[in-house]
Amino acid sequence: MRTSYEHNGVLWIDLESPTQEEIKAIVDQFGIVPMVAEELLIPSIKPRAEFYDAYMYVVLHFPTLRRSHKSIEQEIDFIVGRTFIITTHYDIVDPLHKFSKVFEVNSILDKSNMGNHAGFFFFYMLKKLYKGVEYEVERVRHHLGTIEGDIFSGHEVGMVEAISNTSRDLLNLRQTIEPHREILHTIESDGAKVFGDTFAPYLRALSNEYYRVHNHVMRNTESLHELRETNNSLLSTKENETMRVLTIMALLTFPLALVVSILEIKSPYNPLYGTPYDFWVIVGTVIVLGTCMVAYFKHKGWF
């Protein structure tokens, strides 16, 4: 599906799951090299940045934790020249969709201050996309707060799975955006070939935006590790307490059961066997011994 926007002499063409006919049309219109055109038809495995005479070609992957999307990461291909920018993707990218709505309104009202070439459009798009990643990280941070409250509310066992799921989400976020560092460094170094030296501060700002989001992810990762250690310590303490109680119960019941078994032996040499009230004597003996053992355990601080 092709959607076009134009403002201040800059044309933005957004392609979602583009067809061969749509790719051929932009190849004819903008002179895109065949190798890049082929890349637009299928998802790319790795992000990269390539520079040509009149434009740059950038592939970036952005994470998404929403189960409504097709995968945990969304690829966006950018072809950015001086007077045009082409974006292709294979799923609905929420930040890019929101950007298109704002851009469309600004175009109609003629209130856009995005600059006079497509590099500025690329800059503001990436800022919006990183804002979307930051929103995903914020959702994880909120989940961590819920996990922390549940841990200290006595739900340590149930939090093992919750912590593992959150760890998976943070790992996906980190693994998806970490390759951006090298790509943005390349764009910052070679972007002047397309946009001029005056645009260099904006390219550096993109790197700063990436590092801000990446640091946010790492801070939440550290918080998750601390919560995991705390949860494991509480689980271990609870298990040790349970084992201690079970051990005391075994230590208490085994001698009493042994005494009862001995006193019940049917032997002529058993002084209680066959005597009146032998049952009550055994019960009384068990009660006395049990009381003495409990008093001893309390004295030792085992209870």
Long-range Cβ contacts of 109-118 (<8 Å, 24+ apart): 112/7, 112/8, 114/7, 114/8, 115/8, 116/8, 116/9, 116/10, 117/10, 117/82, 117/83, 117/195, 117/199, 118/10, 118/12, 118/80, 118/81, 118/82, 118/83, 118/84, 118/85
Q: In this structure, are 56 and 154 located in the same domain? A: yes
Global confidence as pTM: 0.76
Q: In this structure, are 173 and 188 located in the same domain? A: yes
Q: In this structure, are 37 and 178 located in the same domain? A: yes
pLDDT value for 211: 92
* Residue 222 confidence (pLDDT) above 80: yes
Q: In this structure, are 141 and 256 located in the same domain? A: no
Residue pair 78/87 in contact (Cβ under 8 Å)? The answer is yes
Q: In this structure, are 167 and 272 located in the same domain? A: no
pLDDT digits (tens, 9 = 90+) for 36-73: 888 888 888 889 898 888 889 999 999 887 655 555 78
pLDDT value for 235: 82
Q: Write the CATH number for 151.
A: 3.30.460.20
* Residue 107 confidence (pLDDT) above 70: no
pLDDT value for 218: 92
Q: Which residue has the higher pLDDT, 198 or 173?
A: 173
* Residue 124 confidence (pLDDT) above 70: yes
Q: In this structure, are 120 and 260 located in the same domain? A: no
Q: Which residue has the higher pLDDT, 143 or 247?
A: 143
Residue span of the structural domain in which 197 resides: 2-236
pLDDT digits (tens, 9 = 90+) for 234-249: 888 887 777 877 877 8
pLDDT value for 46: 87
Domain tally, the chain: 2
Residue pair 160/242 in contact (Cβ under 8 Å)? The answer is no
Chain mean pLDDT for the chain: 83
Q: In this structure, are 25 and 148 located in the same domain? A: yes
Q: Which residue has the higher pLDDT, 2 or 57?
A: 57
* Residue 131 confidence (pLDDT) above 70: yes
Domain's final residue, options 196, 215, 236: 236
Q: In this structure, are 294 and 189 located in the same domain? A: no
pLDDT value for 65: 75
Q: In this structure, are 177 and 275 located in the same domain? A: no
pLDDT digits (tens, 9 = 90+) for 254-287: 887 877 777 777 767 677 666 777 777 778 887 8
* Residue 78 confidence (pLDDT) above 90: yes
Q: In this structure, are 204 and 250 located in the same domain? A: no
Q: Which residue has the higher pLDDT, 269 or 293?
A: 293
Q: In this structure, are 31 and 68 located in the same domain? A: yes
Q: In this structure, are 215 and 278 located in the same domain? A: no
